[in-house]
Chain A
């Protein structure tokens, strides 16, 4: 079964750091680009970051550029998101998603992990 499971979400103070993980199973992880998408409470979806299968190309949304770093370990079938200098507005449910290969759409989603930034 194709599956993604995020972890690492917690309550953190503004200015703090956090590392999210996404464990993939059931597919050839290294062959797929992956994305992070977030959803603030009661709000819509916001794309955060994109990384190709070989990690050769990485993109970030302007709202997180310079603060977040995406990476992957294909040997461990894992995707990561290092989040630094966290702000209140980073509070959201963070999803990892598998790029479908069709114009950037996401065909497999994890259940998400909640990040709360608050003092």
Chain B
């Protein structure tokens, strides 16, 4: 059982927007602005997409954005493209466990 809770799957059509949630507690997601999001394609290493809840690393499309409300963080992908189909993982700093991950969400672009 993962420390952070994500939906197992989400789907959307090209051009649409989708949101992936990441639910934690006040001891991790809710207590710190240290949520990151990763994209993982089959057979590849994860890629950092969002850090510190809302920030995008250089080179990441501005179609990807992040937010947080209380103990739940969200990854929003706008203008869905077929190349966005992948697994997405959230992570958060946690003083007790240093880094906790969500169980991952498979995004299907229909």
Query: Which A positions have Cβ atoms within 8 angstroms of B?
Result: 35, 37, 44-47, 50, 59, 61-62, 95, 100, 102-107, 109-112
Contact = CB atoms under 8 A, between A and B. Distances in A.
Interface residues of B, number: 28
Contacts of B64: none
Nearest to A62: B97
A43 B80 CA distance: 25
Interface string B75-108: 0000000000000010111000111111110000
Contacts of A110: 45
15 contacts: A37-B101, A44-B2, A45-B104, A46-B101, A47-B91, A47-B100, A103-B32, A103-B34, A103-B51, A104-B93, A104-B98, A104-B99, A105-B34, A105-B51, A112-B45
B36 interface: yes
Given A35-B99, A102-B55, A95 B48 contact: no
B65 to A, nearest CB: 16
Contacts, number: 73
Contacts of B100: 47
Nearest to A112: B45
B34 A45 contact: no
Contacts of A37: 99, 101
The list of the 7 closest CB pairs from A to B, nearest first, reads: A103-B34, A105-B36, A109-B45, A47-B99, A44-B104, A104-B93, A103-B93
Given A102-B52, A106-B46, A112-B45, A47 B97 contact: yes
B63 interface: no
A2 to B, nearest CB: 12
Interface string B30-46: 00111110100000111
A111 B102 contact: no
Given A104-B91, A109-B45, A47 B51 contact: no
Given A44-B103, A106-B36, A100 B48 contact: yes
Contacts of B55: 102
